[in-house]
Amino acid sequence: MKTKVVNHKTPSVDGKGIMMGRPAFTDDLAEPNSLIVKVLRSPHAFARIKKIDISKAKVLTGVEVVLTYHDVPRTSFTRAGQGYPEPSPHDKFILDEYVRYVGDEVACVAAINESIADQALKLIEVEYEVLEPVLDFETAYENKNVIHPEDGIREMFPIGFEPKKNVAAAYDMHIGDVEEALAKCDIVVDETYYTQAQAHAMLEPHTANARLDYHNRLVIYTSTQTPYHVRRIISQTLDMPISKIRVIKPRVGGGFGGKQALHSEFFVSLVTLKTKKPSKMIYSRQEVFESSYTRHPMRMRMRIGAMKDGTIKAIDSDSLSDTGAYGEHALTVFMITGSKVLPLYNKVDAVHFGGRVVYTNHVSAGAFRGYGAIQGNFALESAIDVLAKKLSIDPLELRRKNMMDEGETSPIFAIMGEGTEGTAMDMDTCKLRYCLDRGAELIGWKDKYPFVKAGPHKVRAVGMAIAMQGSGIPYIDMAAATIKLNDDGFYNLTVGATDIGQGSDTVITQIVAEALMTTVDKVIIYSSDTDLTPFDVGAYASSTTYVSGNAALKAALKMKGMLIKEAANYLKVKEEEIVFDGEKFFAKDKVLTLSDMANRLYYNDNQHQLSATESYVGHKSPPPFMAGYVEIELDTETGEYDILHYVSVVDCGVTINPMLARGQVEGGIVQGLGMACFEDVKYSNRGKLNSNSFLYYKIPTMLDVKKLTTEFAESYEESGPYGAKSVGEIGIDTPPAAIANAVANATGVRINNLPVTPEKIFQGLNKRK
């Protein structure tokens, strides 16, 4: 389909204003003179507050409020920003008698300035009963130390919640008999992999501010991915009507899943409701590391069985996930570890996927781009290369032989959804074969696999992985859009869809401009304000282009129909006789400009406001696919390696905005490389996160990845807006396996736990000597 706006280079609608420094982010929009809210945090990994004395803090001049667990509502909830009823256990209280990780909330103060707030924190006296923490997720199950012994917590529907056994969730599914199938195989690979609790490290720390407006309603500005879920959860936990709450999401300085859960909203809301004054809270960088969320670290045992000729017959994936102190996103991330990874090899006779998500006294794990798929991909795609080696088959050949193809399906889709049953679907678009071949070409696989010598102790090697993700959650995620026509013939577009920097404001504007046959500057978008914009679940599950975009497309087409009806009315012709080019209506020999018609509709003639609202819920979640290839140069004496080139060939359907789509892929690749190579999470033996600062937790810099090549496959997904699928997460999935495979190709050393550090490689090389 030829398009004029979609799939054309289009500058973002907001990049210029942001770079020029216009106030746009949450703290930029805080009321001046907001009370400063700070939280006292637990120094212990696991403790009970025996006594807490806030008397000295309360009387400090400049302190307005001090809150402990005695002063806040006692309703359990989940902080996870998900649809209702949430698939995450309601296991959190705003403030509790127990603290469950170093950094957990103990008390909250609000003062007239930061200095006094800090002093007030120091004046709060707490007597703890220090309890023995559970710091090893491999011994958490049925550990005698129970992290959630309290009453009043629950699952919203069965998710395998067994808190007395330290289990937040559990899942098990099988297709066929995997033991039987494995027994018949010529070769079985049996490997166990570990991934770490990656930190999002978004540049804008978590922040929220609250005020009472002149309707005496609570207005919360928050750096969030899910404004509507924030509104609902605040209403439920503070026991106030949803109608009394307004949540506005301003520009967000990065989320990646780390803001798909509530953070400071509770505290600023409570403070503002109590004092009637505006208040704000900004997480310090240390709090972002220690007291927000991380990726779920996992242990995955992967067994893959195949015949001598390379046909993969069975896959058994048995995993353990560490959700930390609270169970946000526990089950759903866990399920994606299987559901958005195992279907890649859809021709097997039998599959088993199962395991548990356990509590520990670590920082709470939550949503993070990839959402289980990156962990699962590391395990599966590493194991596939191990299998290829055992079979003496080229790893590309092995994948070509067994991987998902266009028009095929996997029974896993029907079984595994996100927290519930899934949705069967055929791969109407799957260019994986093309991606794999093209990527091999671009990296120079033929001439480089497995490695070539590059110096006295240097080798260059290549490694790769394939991946899939999803596009929204079918039958659960809903998005809506409203378009209104203004005088002069331009449009206001309001959507709940949440732009967190991924460009959804721009992409959705493009879709509407395309459908209304106009230009992007004539469609003014406003998003994510629960009073003014229609509903959207928020930015997660790679849904804004596919789900929110589809809603906007429907609304635009509805508006177009209304325009034509009005024009026909004015021109006194039949609707079928109207030809509309986006600016003018033609019928027979008559012409009417949109601008004229819009003015007349406002001021002169049959005046009424044209407005179209439409919603969309997906019936499938068409996966984007990609092949990722990496070339490294490795020092065989020290294990150090450089990342020379990362090639990504992606099938995301049509790219609504080709440059922004490339940005999503490349941003994901570099985050994935961060997890694969540099980002090491370290806890002390008392459970304190030592890697709690950018000084110790190293995210990639511009000098760390020499070259990225990104291409998109020609692909058109019928069910997507203008043929689009999604592209927000797929980029992050392949680097860990690609790097581990490249290192194995370079040295014969297999690293099964992330990150793949030079020291691990060095030790592996030494063992081989």
Partner 1 sequence: MKVNFNLNGRNVSYDIPPGEYLADTLRNHSFLSVKKACDEAVCGACTVLLDGRPILSCSFLSARVEGRNVTTVEAVQDDVDEISNFFSDEGADQCGFCNTGLALTILALRKELKNPTDEDIKHFVVGNLCRCSGYQAQFKAIKNYLEAHK
Partner 2 sequence: MEANRYLRPATLEEAHQILLQDAKNVLLGGGLWLKKSTSSANALVDLSTLGLGAIKDLGNAVEVGAMVSLRDFELSPLLKDIQGGILIEAVGQIMGVAFRNGATIGGSVAGRFPFSDIITPLLALDTTVVFYPHKEMSLKDFLSFKGRLSDILTHVVIKKSKGPSFFKKVKTTALDFAVINVAIANVNGEYRIAIGSRPSVASLAVKSMEVVNGAKKLSPELIVMVADLASEELLYASTGAASAEYRKALARAYVKRGLEEVSK
Residue type, 702: M
**Contact pattern from residue 190 through residue 219 relative to partner 1, giving x for each residue in contact according to CB under 8 A and a dash for the rest:** ----------xxxxxx--------------
Nearer to partner 2, 392 or 701 (CB): 701
Query: In this structure, what are the phi and psi dihedrals at residue 49, rounded to the nearest 5 degrees?
Result: -80, 110
Q: Which of 179, 569, 696, 748 binds partner 2 (CB under 8 A)?
A: 696
Measure the CA–CA gap between 731 and 647, rounded to whole angstroms: 11
DSSP, res 752:
-
Nearer to partner 2, 426 or 680 (CB): 680
Structure tokens at 228: 């509507």
**How many C-beta atoms surround the C-beta of residue 284 within 10 A?**
14
- Sheet containing strand 641-651, strands side by side: 451-455, 458-468, 625-635, 641-651, 708-712
**Contact pattern from residue 18 through residue 37 relative to partner 1, giving x for each residue in contact according to CB under 8 A and a dash for the rest:** xxxxxxxx--x---------
Residue type, 179: E
The candidate with the shortest Cα–Cα distance to 69, out of 43, 47, 98, is: 98
Cβ-count burial of 477 within 10 angstroms (0-12 exposed, 13-18 middle, 19+ buried)? buried
Select from partner 1, partner 2, none the partner in contact with residue 252, using the beta carbon and a kind-dependent cut-off of 5 to 8 Å. partner 1
Nearer to partner 1, 361 or 506 (CB): 506
Structure tokens at 246: 């307004």
Query: In this structure, what are the phi and psi dihedrals at residue 227, rounded to the nearest 5 degrees?
Result: -60, -40
Task: Please give the residues from 112 up to 131 whose contact with partner 2 meets the rule CB under 8 A.
Answer: 115
**Contact pattern from residue 502 through residue 521 relative to partner 1, giving x for each residue in contact according to CB under 8 A and a dash for the rest:** xx------------------
DSSP string, 80-133: B--PSSPSS-B-B-SS-SEE-STT-EEEEEEESSHHHHHHHHHH-EEEEEE---
Measure the CA–CA gap between 695 and 699, rounded to whole angstroms: 10
Least Å distance between CB 445 and partner 1? 21
**Coil vs helix vs strand at 222:** strand
**Coil vs helix vs strand at 3:** coil
**Strand blocks (E) in 260-333:** 279-282, 298-306, 312-324
Select from partner 2, partner 1, none the partner in contact with residue 205, using the beta carbon and a kind-dependent cut-off of 5 to 8 Å. partner 1
Q: Is residue 97 part of the contact set for partner 2 (CB under 8 A)? A: no
Determine contact, residues 350/175, Cβ cutoff 8 Å. yes
Segment interacting with partner 2, rule: CB under 8 A, options 401-409, 542-550, 571-579, 634-642: 634-642
Q: Is residue 285 part of the contact set for partner 1 (CB under 8 A)? A: yes
Measure the CA–CA gap between 501 and 518, rounded to whole angstroms: 24
Q: Is residue 637 part of the contact set for partner 2 (CB under 8 A)? A: yes
Q: Is residue 180 part of the contact set for partner 2 (CB under 8 A)? A: no
**Coil vs helix vs strand at 373:** helix
Measure the CA–CA gap between 731 and 724, rounded to whole angstroms: 16
Measure the CA–CA gap between 552 and 668, rounded to whole angstroms: 26
Task: Please give the residues from 102 up to 121 whose contact with partner 1 meets the rule CB under 8 A.
Answer: 115
Select from partner 1, partner 2, none the partner in contact with residue 696, using the beta carbon and a kind-dependent cut-off of 5 to 8 Å. partner 2
Q: Give the pairing type, strands 584-587 and 590-593.
A: antiparallel
Q: Which of 251, 340, 460, 645 binds partner 1 (CB under 8 A)?
A: 251
Q: Is residue 285 part of the contact set for partner 2 (CB under 8 A)? A: no
Select from partner 1, partner 2, none the partner in contact with residue 16, using the beta carbon and a kind-dependent cut-off of 5 to 8 Å. partner 1
Q: Is residue 662 part of the contact set for partner 1 (CB under 8 A)? A: yes
Nearer to partner 1, 375 or 504 (CB): 504
Q: Which of 35, 699, 713, 744 binds partner 2 (CB under 8 A)?
A: 699
Peptide bond into 411 cis (omega under 30): no
Least Å distance between CB 491 and partner 2? 43
Least Å distance between CB 3 and partner 1? 18
Measure the CA–CA gap between 487 and 600, rounded to whole angstroms: 8
Q: How many residues bind to partner 1 according to rule CB under 8 A?
A: 58
Cβ-count burial of 39 within 10 angstroms (0-12 exposed, 13-18 middle, 19+ buried)? buried
Segment interacting with partner 1, rule: CB under 8 A, options 304-312, 527-535, 607-615, 652-660: 652-660
Least Å distance between CB 202 and partner 1? 6
Residue with structure tokens 């997660």? Answer: 540
Q: Is residue 61 part of the contact set for partner 1 (CB under 8 A)? A: no
**Contact pattern from residue 385 through residue 404 relative to partner 1, giving x for each residue in contact according to CB under 8 A and a dash for the rest:** --------------------
Least Å distance between CB 203 and partner 1? 4
Segment interacting with partner 2, rule: CB under 8 A, options 320-328, 413-421, 462-470, 677-685: 677-685
Select from partner 2, partner 1, none the partner in contact with residue 202, using the beta carbon and a kind-dependent cut-off of 5 to 8 Å. partner 1
| Beta-bridge partners for 221 | 209, 248
Measure the CA–CA gap between 118 and 122, rounded to whole angstroms: 7
For binding to partner 1 (CB under 8 A), which residues are involved? 9, 11-12, 14-16, 18-25, 28, 115, 200-205, 251-254, 256, 282, 284-285, 500-503, 657-663, 666-671, 693-695, 699-703, 705, 707-708
Give contact residues for partner 2 (rule: CB under 8 A).
Answer: 115, 637-638, 640, 677-678, 680, 682, 690-691, 694-696, 698-704, 757, 759, 762-763
